[in-house]
A and B are shown apart, each in its own frame.
Chain A
Amino acid sequence: MPAASPYYTPEHESFRDQVRRFVSEEIAPNIDAWDEANTFPREFYKQAAEVGILGIGYPEQYGGVEVPDRFYGLIMVEELSRAGSGGIMASLFSHGISIPPILAVGSEEQKQRFVAPVLAGERISALAVTEPSGGSDVANLKTTARLEDDHYVVNGSKTFITSGMRADQYTVAVRTGEAGMGGVSILVIEADTPGFSRTPLKKMGWWCSDTATLYFDNCKVPAGNLIGPENMGFISIMRNFNDERIALAAQAHGLAQCAIDEATEWARERVTFGKPLIKNQVIRHKLVDMQMRTNAVKAYLEQLVYRVDQGESPIAELCMLKNLATSNCEYVAGEAVQILGGAGYMRGAKSERIFRETKVLSIGGGASEIMKDLASRQMGH
Chain B
Amino acid sequence: MKVLVSVKRVVDYNVRIQVKGDGSGVNLDGVKMSMNPFDEIAMEEAVRLKEAGTAEEVIAVTIGGDKAEEQLRSALAFGADRAIHVKVNEEVSPLTAARILKAVFEKEQPGLFLMGKQAIDDDNNQTGQMTSALLGIPQATFAGELKIDGNKATVVREVDAGLETIEVDLPAVVTADLRLNEPRYLKLPDIMKAKRKPVETVSMADLGVEAAPGLTVTKTSPPPARAAGIKVKTVDELVAALKDKGLV
- Using a CB–CB cutoff of 8 Å, the interface residues on chain A facing chain B are 1, 3, 10-11, 14-15, 17-18, 21-22, 51-52, 56, 65, 67, 72
Contact = CB atoms under 8 A, between A and B. Distances in A.
B26 to A, nearest CB: 14
Nearest to B195: A11
7 contacts: A1-B30, A3-B30, A14-B74, A14-B191, A22-B185, A51-B185, A65-B188
Nearest to A65: B188
Interface stretch (B31-39, B165-173, B231-239): B31-39
Contacts of B70: 10, 14
Which of B33, B74, B185 gathers the greatest number of chain A CB atoms within 10 Å? B185
Contacts of A14: 70, 73-74, 77, 186, 191
A25 to B, nearest CB: 9
Contact of B188 (A1, A3, A21, A56): A56
Interface in B44-82: 70, 73-74, 77
Given A17-B34, A18-B187, A65-B187, 17 more contacts: A1-B30, A1-B31, A1-B32, A1-B33, A10-B73, A11-B192, A14-B70, A14-B74, A14-B77, A14-B191, A15-B188, A18-B185, A18-B188, A18-B191, A52-B187, A52-B188, A52-B189
Nearest to B31: A1
A371 B102 CA distance: 64
Interface string B191-224: 1100100000000000000000000000000000
Interface residues of B, number: 17
A26 to B, nearest CB: 9
Contact of A65 (B32, B73, B74, B189): B189
Contacts of B191: 11, 14-15, 18
A299 to B, nearest CB: 19
A246 to B, nearest CB: 19
User: Ordered nearest first, which 10 A-B pairs have the shortest CB separation?
Assistant: A52-B187, A51-B185, A14-B191, A18-B186, A1-B32, A65-B188, A18-B185, A11-B191, A15-B188, A52-B188
A216 to B, nearest CB: 38
